[in-house]
Amino acid sequence: MKKLNLIFIFLMFISFQSYAQLTITPRIGTTFSTISFSNELQDELFGSDNKSKVGIVGGVELGIGISDLFSIQTGVNYTQKGTKYEEGNESLSAGLNYIELPLLARVSFGSDKVKAYVNAGPSLGFAMGGKFKVEDDGLSFEEDITFGDGEDDAFENSVDFGLQFGAGVGFSAGPGSIVLDLRYGLGLSNLFETPDNVDRSILKSSNNVFAVSLGYAIPLGGK
Protein backbone atom coordinates (compact mmCIF):
# COMPACT_ATOMS: atom_id res chain seq x y z
CA MET A 1 0.00 0.00 0.00
CA LYS A 2 2.80 2.41 0.86
CA LYS A 3 4.46 1.71 -2.48
CA LEU A 4 1.18 2.40 -4.30
CA ASN A 5 0.79 5.69 -2.41
CA LEU A 6 4.32 6.75 -3.34
CA ILE A 7 3.71 5.88 -6.99
CA PHE A 8 0.45 7.85 -6.93
CA ILE A 9 2.15 10.91 -5.44
CA PHE A 10 4.97 10.66 -7.99
CA LEU A 11 2.54 10.43 -10.90
CA MET A 12 0.56 13.40 -9.56
CA PHE A 13 3.79 15.41 -9.32
CA ILE A 14 4.79 14.50 -12.88
CA SER A 15 1.30 15.37 -14.12
CA PHE A 16 1.33 18.73 -12.33
CA GLN A 17 4.83 19.54 -13.54
CA SER A 18 3.87 18.77 -17.13
CA TYR A 19 0.88 21.10 -16.86
CA ALA A 20 2.28 24.00 -14.85
CA GLN A 21 4.74 26.47 -16.31
CA LEU A 22 7.64 26.69 -13.85
CA THR A 23 10.08 29.60 -13.74
CA ILE A 24 13.03 30.32 -11.50
CA THR A 25 14.08 33.93 -10.99
CA PRO A 26 17.36 35.00 -9.35
CA ARG A 27 16.90 38.61 -8.19
CA ILE A 28 18.87 41.36 -6.50
CA GLY A 29 17.97 44.89 -5.53
CA THR A 30 17.68 47.62 -2.93
CA THR A 31 15.46 48.06 0.11
CA PHE A 32 14.25 51.28 1.75
CA SER A 33 12.97 50.38 5.19
CA THR A 34 11.65 51.88 8.40
CA ILE A 35 10.45 50.53 11.73
CA SER A 36 7.12 52.01 12.75
CA PHE A 37 6.77 52.57 16.48
CA SER A 38 3.77 53.67 18.47
CA ASN A 39 3.85 57.43 19.09
CA GLU A 40 4.57 57.01 22.79
CA LEU A 41 7.52 54.69 22.23
CA GLN A 42 8.99 56.75 19.39
CA ASP A 43 8.89 59.97 21.42
CA GLU A 44 10.47 58.27 24.44
CA LEU A 45 13.26 56.48 22.56
CA PHE A 46 14.15 58.91 19.81
CA GLY A 47 12.21 62.18 19.85
CA SER A 48 13.05 62.68 16.18
CA ASP A 49 11.81 61.77 12.71
CA ASN A 50 12.04 58.27 11.30
CA LYS A 51 14.25 58.02 8.19
CA SER A 52 14.52 55.25 5.61
CA LYS A 53 17.47 52.90 5.90
CA VAL A 54 18.94 51.62 2.64
CA GLY A 55 19.78 47.92 2.38
CA ILE A 56 19.87 45.07 -0.10
CA VAL A 57 17.53 42.26 -1.13
CA GLY A 58 18.49 39.16 -3.08
CA GLY A 59 17.43 35.62 -3.57
CA VAL A 60 15.75 33.10 -5.82
CA GLU A 61 12.02 32.85 -6.44
CA LEU A 62 10.02 30.02 -7.99
CA GLY A 63 6.97 30.73 -10.14
CA ILE A 64 4.27 28.09 -10.62
CA GLY A 65 2.08 29.07 -13.55
CA ILE A 66 -1.47 27.80 -13.17
CA SER A 67 -2.64 29.58 -16.33
CA ASP A 68 -1.49 32.40 -18.62
CA LEU A 69 -3.20 34.82 -16.24
CA PHE A 70 -2.54 33.38 -12.78
CA SER A 71 0.52 31.99 -10.98
CA ILE A 72 1.93 31.37 -7.50
CA GLN A 73 5.29 32.86 -6.50
CA THR A 74 7.43 31.56 -3.65
CA GLY A 75 11.14 31.32 -2.88
CA VAL A 76 13.88 32.33 -0.47
CA ASN A 77 15.15 35.91 -0.12
CA TYR A 78 17.80 37.65 1.98
CA THR A 79 16.28 40.98 3.00
CA GLN A 80 17.82 43.83 4.97
CA LYS A 81 15.38 45.85 7.05
CA GLY A 82 15.75 48.49 9.73
CA THR A 83 15.40 52.18 10.42
CA LYS A 84 17.37 55.37 10.94
CA TYR A 85 16.89 58.43 13.14
CA GLU A 86 18.70 61.75 12.85
CA GLU A 87 18.70 64.79 15.10
CA GLY A 88 21.32 67.48 14.67
CA ASN A 89 24.76 65.86 14.46
CA GLU A 90 23.51 62.63 16.01
CA SER A 91 22.17 59.59 14.18
CA LEU A 92 21.06 56.14 15.23
CA SER A 93 20.44 53.27 12.83
CA ALA A 94 19.33 49.68 13.26
CA GLY A 95 20.01 47.18 10.47
CA LEU A 96 18.24 43.81 10.63
CA ASN A 97 19.01 40.81 8.39
CA TYR A 98 16.21 38.39 7.50
CA ILE A 99 15.75 35.19 5.55
CA GLU A 100 12.30 35.69 4.06
CA LEU A 101 9.82 33.23 2.52
CA PRO A 102 7.06 34.87 0.44
CA LEU A 103 3.95 33.16 -0.91
CA LEU A 104 2.32 35.44 -3.45
CA ALA A 105 -0.59 35.18 -5.82
CA ARG A 106 0.25 36.85 -9.14
CA VAL A 107 -2.00 38.08 -11.94
CA SER A 108 -0.21 38.78 -15.25
CA PHE A 109 -1.29 40.57 -18.41
CA GLY A 110 0.32 41.69 -21.64
CA SER A 111 2.07 40.05 -24.58
CA ASP A 112 4.87 37.51 -24.84
CA LYS A 113 7.35 40.35 -25.41
CA VAL A 114 6.26 42.60 -22.53
CA LYS A 115 4.22 41.26 -19.62
CA ALA A 116 3.19 43.21 -16.52
CA TYR A 117 1.85 41.77 -13.27
CA VAL A 118 0.51 42.55 -9.81
CA ASN A 119 0.94 40.27 -6.81
CA ALA A 120 0.06 40.01 -3.14
CA GLY A 121 0.28 37.53 -0.30
CA PRO A 122 1.84 36.66 3.07
CA SER A 123 5.51 36.35 3.92
CA LEU A 124 7.46 34.89 6.81
CA GLY A 125 10.85 36.26 7.85
CA PHE A 126 13.44 34.83 10.25
CA ALA A 127 15.95 37.28 11.73
CA MET A 128 19.62 36.40 11.40
CA GLY A 129 20.92 39.27 13.53
CA GLY A 130 21.90 42.82 12.77
CA LYS A 131 23.71 45.90 14.03
CA PHE A 132 23.03 49.09 15.91
CA LYS A 133 25.13 52.07 14.81
CA VAL A 134 25.36 55.41 16.62
CA GLU A 135 27.18 58.45 15.19
CA ASP A 136 27.79 61.68 17.09
CA ASP A 137 30.03 64.53 15.88
CA GLY A 138 32.22 62.26 13.76
CA LEU A 139 32.45 59.48 16.34
CA SER A 140 30.75 56.15 15.66
CA PHE A 141 29.87 53.08 17.70
CA GLU A 142 28.49 49.72 16.54
CA GLU A 143 26.88 46.91 18.51
CA ASP A 144 25.45 43.56 17.40
CA ILE A 145 21.70 43.06 17.57
CA THR A 146 20.57 39.72 18.93
CA PHE A 147 17.12 38.24 19.35
CA GLY A 148 15.57 36.32 22.23
CA ASP A 149 14.05 36.75 25.65
CA GLY A 150 17.13 37.96 27.53
CA GLU A 151 17.27 41.44 29.04
CA ASP A 152 20.35 42.34 26.97
CA ASP A 153 18.67 41.60 23.63
CA ALA A 154 17.61 44.56 21.54
CA PHE A 155 14.62 42.79 19.97
CA GLU A 156 12.72 39.85 21.45
CA ASN A 157 10.80 38.69 18.37
CA SER A 158 12.93 37.09 15.66
CA VAL A 159 9.98 36.04 13.48
CA ASP A 160 8.50 38.67 11.19
CA PHE A 161 5.13 37.74 9.69
CA GLY A 162 3.71 40.22 7.20
CA LEU A 163 2.04 40.93 3.90
CA GLN A 164 3.63 41.85 0.58
CA PHE A 165 2.09 43.83 -2.25
CA GLY A 166 3.75 44.61 -5.54
CA ALA A 167 3.85 45.01 -9.26
CA GLY A 168 6.37 44.54 -12.01
CA VAL A 169 7.09 44.09 -15.65
CA GLY A 170 9.01 41.50 -17.63
CA PHE A 171 10.79 42.03 -20.96
CA SER A 172 11.50 39.02 -23.15
CA ALA A 173 15.26 38.45 -23.53
CA GLY A 174 16.78 35.22 -24.78
CA PRO A 175 15.22 32.08 -23.33
CA GLY A 176 13.71 34.01 -20.42
CA SER A 177 12.83 37.56 -19.45
CA ILE A 178 14.32 40.47 -17.53
CA VAL A 179 12.02 41.36 -14.63
CA LEU A 180 11.76 44.69 -12.81
CA ASP A 181 9.93 44.16 -9.51
CA LEU A 182 8.53 46.77 -7.09
CA ARG A 183 7.34 45.45 -3.74
CA TYR A 184 6.08 46.77 -0.41
CA GLY A 185 6.29 44.67 2.75
CA LEU A 186 4.00 45.46 5.68
CA GLY A 187 5.13 43.82 8.91
CA LEU A 188 2.40 42.55 11.23
CA SER A 189 4.61 41.14 13.99
CA ASN A 190 5.57 43.21 17.02
CA LEU A 191 9.37 43.36 17.31
CA PHE A 192 9.14 43.76 21.09
CA GLU A 193 7.36 41.31 23.37
CA THR A 194 4.74 43.15 25.39
CA PRO A 195 4.47 42.30 29.12
CA ASP A 196 1.05 41.13 30.26
CA ASN A 197 0.58 44.23 32.40
CA VAL A 198 1.39 46.68 29.58
CA ASP A 199 -0.96 47.87 26.86
CA ARG A 200 0.28 46.34 23.58
CA SER A 201 -0.39 49.59 21.70
CA ILE A 202 2.26 51.37 23.81
CA LEU A 203 5.07 49.05 22.64
CA LYS A 204 3.76 48.38 19.15
CA SER A 205 6.48 48.21 16.47
CA SER A 206 6.70 46.71 12.99
CA ASN A 207 8.87 46.57 9.87
CA ASN A 208 7.95 48.46 6.71
CA VAL A 209 10.00 47.80 3.57
CA PHE A 210 9.90 49.07 0.00
CA ALA A 211 12.06 47.01 -2.37
CA VAL A 212 13.18 47.50 -5.96
CA SER A 213 14.85 44.52 -7.62
CA LEU A 214 15.99 43.25 -10.99
CA GLY A 215 15.84 39.58 -11.93
CA TYR A 216 15.95 37.14 -14.78
CA ALA A 217 13.06 34.67 -15.10
CA ILE A 218 14.19 31.34 -16.52
CA PRO A 219 11.50 28.91 -17.75
CA LEU A 220 11.95 25.35 -16.49
CA GLY A 221 9.38 23.65 -18.67
CA GLY A 222 5.73 22.71 -18.44
CA LYS A 223 2.85 23.32 -20.76
Q: Sign (positive/negative) of CA torsion 200, 184, 72, 216?
A: negative
Domains of the chain listed by start with CATH number? 21-221 (2.40.160.20)
Confidence of residue 11 (pLDDT cuts 50, 70, 90): very low
| 154: three-class secondary structure by DSSP | coil
Distance of CA 51 to the CA centre of its chain: 19
Question: Which of 7-21, 43-57, 143-157, 158-172 has the largest mean confidence?
Answer: 158-172
Cα gap 110→7, rounded to integer Å: 39
Bigger pLDDT: 178 vs 34: 178
pLDDT digits (tens, 9 = 90+) for 150-202: 554 457 788 999 999 999 999 999 999 999 999 999 999 888 765 555 555 55
Strand-pair partners of 144: 131
- 68-110 pLDDT, tens digit per residue, is 899 999 999 999 998 887 777 777 888 899 999 999 999 999 9
> Shortest CA distance to 29 belongs to which of 214, 223, 198, 205?
214
